[in-house]
Chains A and B, each alone.
Chain A
Amino acid sequence: NAGVTQTPKFQVLKTGQSMTLQCAQDMNHNSMYWYRQDPGMGLRLIYYSASEGTTDKGEVPNGYNVSRLNKREFSLRLESAAPSQTSVYFCASSDAGTAPYEQYFGPGTRLTVT
């Protein structure tokens, strides 16, 4: 099992460009999450999807959109990138029904917006 995979691993964008970060999990988890991690700020939840077909805002959703394409895939889109969105983005998944809320993380995408 690959667990949680993310693409791309690195990306450099110019201000105003758009891009989609891809995430997939092969653990048959119901719930998926997108976080960003900035120095001194910890991990902050951007959006989450409790189950296929639902998405909800987290702590810092402005400037982002998400799509839960199916049970496996959860993408994060930046419509018009800004330097403030320079960060490391982590996707995670969990099986809300059984695990004690353990989340499994992907390797991250390092995004720089110039």
Chain B
Amino acid sequence: RKEVEQDPGPFNVPEGATVAFNCTYSNSASQSFFWYRQDCRKEPKLLMSVYSSGNEDGRFTAQLNRASQYISLLIRDSKLSDSATYLCVVTVTGFQKLVFGTGTRLLVSP
């Protein structure tokens, strides 16, 4: 079983739609959680950290459910510029080693 699993998509949505991605992780000792964004043929960049209480950054909301070991990302009012691959990332206790999911591809169309 992969340490971090994501639906690869693609998720095809129209502009203005709300879309949600989930990610599950297998290591219950995982401590920190993130969503990274990766544009086509570019490097990954941090989108947002995910906190136990849930957190919001503009149109983006991230949630963590430790009991079920999943993380979610909700994007409201999708923009064309949101088209990218979204990587779910967790860290394991002891060092800042990141474990990446394979990513979920989002395509926002006009």
Contact = CB atoms under 8 A, between A and B. Distances in A.
Residue among A31, A101, A103 with the highest chain B CB neighbour number at 10 A: A101
Nearest to A44: B100
Contacts of A48: 97
A99 B95 CA distance: 13
B87 interface: yes
Given A48-B97, A96-B96, A106 B43 contact: yes
A20 B101 CA distance: 27
Q: What band does the interface of chain A fall in when counting residues whose beta carbon is under 8 Å from B?
A: 20 to 34
A58 B98 CA distance: 11
B95 A103 contact: no
Interface in A28-46: 31, 40-45
A50 B97 CA distance: 10
Nearest to B43: A105
B66 interface: no
Contacts of B59: none
B42 to A, nearest CB: 7
A101 B100 contact: no
A85 B101 CA distance: 20
A22 B32 CA distance: 29
Contact of A101 (B4, B87, B98, B102): B98
Given A90-B43, A107-B42, A107-B43, A43 B49 contact: no
Interface string A100-114: 111101111000000
A105 B87 CA distance: 14
A25 interface: no
17 contacts: A42-B87, A42-B100, A42-B101, A42-B102, A43-B87, A45-B97, A48-B97, A94-B96, A100-B49, A101-B96, A102-B34, A102-B46, A103-B46, A105-B43, A106-B43, A107-B42, A108-B42
Interface of A: 31, 40-45, 48, 50, 58, 90, 94, 96, 100-103, 105-108
